[in-house]
Structure 1
Amino acid sequence: MDIKQLHYLCALAEHRHFGRAAQACCVTQPTLSMRLRQLEQDLGVALVRRGKQFEGFTPEGEMVLARARVLLGQYQNLRLEVDAMKGRLTGTVRLGLVPLSCMDLSPVLARMRQQHQGVSFEMNDMTADDILAGLEQNTLDIGGGFFEPEVLSRFRSLALPEQGVVLAYGAGWGERLPSQLTPRSLTGLPLCLPKTGMYFRHYLDTRFGQAGVPLQPVLTSNSVYRLMRWVHAGLGCALVPAGSVLFSELPGVQCRPLALPAMSRLGALVMGSDGRASLLAKGFFEVAAELWQRPESRVF
């Protein structure tokens, strides 16, 4: 057994396909398959269910996979610690963000690059559940989004203050809006919203339903960019979490607060517990915490 075999096993779990896993590991599919069979022979058990294509892992495979993820995390931390002893921090910070959390982490990335030129970043749009799974499985270093308070207790987290909801609108819409925005005052307004199934959309549906105002959007998307373009073009208005630089920096786009009760989930940055988190994750978190304490450089 060697570290590459464990890496191949984890890649197969991530991509669920032999060819894509091999491509991600920069080897041929026969090489990856052969090395995994050698691992099975060394351990004396079948790890992978094979048919015409990948069909999942055996119970023994799931157990070995869980241990492999821990060992790979420790191996990566060892390499990072050696680099840190040489006075440098290198590697890729893997981030997962809920798109509609509207976090602007560019100040954190810029500051970390200033401090550590050998650091790069991988950004992934993900659901909150996928982010938590990625942190548990060591396929992510940092997550950002909306999380239940009890979930945050299992991780190291940097909670962001509740800022509420705003209505974003383009040129020509300001004079059509009432002086005070409430769910009922938005009746008949062409709205662009997150897709059904996303947490922020569920929150909006619940709150508007309680006010007796069903939401009937003219556009739904899981892409903040598409919501931005719709609003910027003047075709409608969007309901988004407050504090989004993606909207406030667009020429002609304005935001006004909407009176709604607070969300049950909290906006937060999260990483694994100190015992499992990588040096890259810890370094990123330290920079984020430092910037967050400065009013002029807010993360959210």
Structure 2
Amino acid sequence: MDIRQLNYLCALAEHRHFGRAAQACCVTQPTLSMRLRQLEQELGVVLVHRGKQFEGFTPEGERVLARARALLGQYDNLRLEVDAMKGRLTGTVRLGLVPLSCMDLSPVLARLRQRHPGIGFEINDMTADAILDGLNHNTLDIGGGFFEPEVLSRFDSLALPEQGVVLAFGPDWSERLPACPSLADLAALPLCLPRPGMYFRRYLETCFEREGVTLQPVLSSDSVYRLMHWVRAGLGCALIPAGSALFDELPGVRCRPLAMPAMARVGALVMRNDGQASLLAQGFFEAAQEVWRQR
């Protein structure tokens, strides 16, 4: 057994396809398949269900996979610790962010890069559940989004201030909206909203239903950038979490606050707290705490 075989196993779990896993590992598919069969022979158990394509892991494979992920996490941390002993921290911080959380993490990234020039970042748009799964499986270092309070208790977390919700609109709407719009005022507006099923959309629907208002979106998307584009183009108005620098930076786009109840979930950054968090994750979290304190 060697570290490459464990990498191949974890890549197969991530991509659920032999060819894509091989491509991610920069080897041929026959090489990846052969090395996994060698691992099975060495362990004396079948790890992978094989048909014409990947069909999942056996129960034994799932247990070995969990151990492989933990070992690879420790291996990566060992390499990072050696770099830290030499006075530098290098590697890629893997972040998963809920798009509509609208977190502006640029000051944190800038601070960490200034402190450790060898660090890079990989940012993925994900659901909250996928983020938690990525943290638990060591495929992410840091998560950011809306989380239930009981979930936050299982991680190191840095909560964001509750800022409420705002209505974002383009220049054509400035004179057509009241200074302090109510939920009833929005009933007849063309709205650009998160797609159905996203937490923020469910939160909005619950609040409006309590007021007897039915939302009538003209556009739904899981992309913040598409919502931003269409608001600026005048297609409609958007409901977004307050404090987003994304909308503030668009010429002509303005925001007005809405009186709405607090969300059940808390906006926060999260990191593992079971001793398995990488040094990169810890460095990012420390930089974020510094930035938040200064704000």
* Equivalent residue, structure 1, for 2:134: 134
Task: Give the deviation of 1:274 after TM superposition.
Answer: 5.0
| CA deviations over 1:171-214 (Å, ceiling 9, x no partner) | 02121112321111112111100000000000000000010001
Distance 2:96 2:182 in 1: 33
* Equivalent residue, structure 2, for 1:5: 5
Distance 1:62 1:70 in 2: 13
| CA deviations over 1:46-73 (Å, ceiling 9, x no partner) | 0000000000000000000000000000
SS at match of 1:173: helix
Task: Give the deviation of 1:234 after TM superposition.
Answer: 1.6
Distance 1:38 1:81 in 2: 31
* Equivalent residue, structure 1, for 2:114: 114
* Equivalent residue, structure 2, for 1:232: 232
Determine if contact 1:232/1:250 at 8 Å carries over to the other structure.
yes
Distance 2:90 2:126 in 1: 25
Task: Give the deviation of 1:92 after TM superposition.
Answer: 0.5
Task: Give the deviation of 1:27 after TM superposition.
Answer: 0.6
* Equivalent residue, structure 2, for 1:43: 43
Task: Give the deviation of 1:270 after TM superposition.
Answer: 0.4
* Equivalent residue, structure 1, for 2:245: 245
* Equivalent residue, structure 2, for 1:57: 57
* Equivalent residue, structure 2, for 1:97: 97
Determine if contact 2:170/2:231 at 8 Å carries over to the other structure.
yes
SS at match of 2:268: strand
Determine if contact 1:156/1:274 at 8 Å carries over to the other structure.
no
Moved over 3 A (4+): none
SS at match of 2:217: coil
Determine if contact 2:187/2:216 at 8 Å carries over to the other structure.
no
Q: For 1:51-90, list aligned pairs within 5 A.
A: 51-90=51-90
1:279 aligned onto 2:279: yes
What is the letter of the counterpart of residue 151 of structure 1? Answer: V
What is the letter of the counterpart of residue 267 of structure 1? Answer: G
Distance 1:171 1:200 in 2: 25
> What is the RMSD of the two structures over their aligned residues, measured on CA atoms?
0.7
* Equivalent residue, structure 2, for 1:298: none
TM-score when normalising by structure 1:
0.97
Distance 2:92 2:209 in 1: 43
Consecutive unaligned residues of structure 2, counting only runs of 5 or more, are none
* Equivalent residue, structure 1, for 2:214: 214
Q: Percent identity?
A: 79
What is the letter of the counterpart of residue 70 of structure 2? Answer: V
SS at match of 1:45: coil
Determine if contact 2:108/2:288 at 8 Å carries over to the other structure.
yes
Distance 2:177 2:82 in 1: 59
Determine if contact 2:179/2:256 at 8 Å carries over to the other structure.
no
Instruction: Return 110-119 or 50-59, whichever deviates more.
Output: 110-119
SS at match of 1:7: helix
Consecutive unaligned residues of structure 1, counting only runs of 5 or more, are 296-300
Determine if contact 2:180/2:256 at 8 Å carries over to the other structure.
no
Q: How many matched pairs?
A: 295
Q: For 1:160-199, list aligned pairs within 5 A.
A: 160-199=160-199
TM-score when normalising by structure 2:
0.99
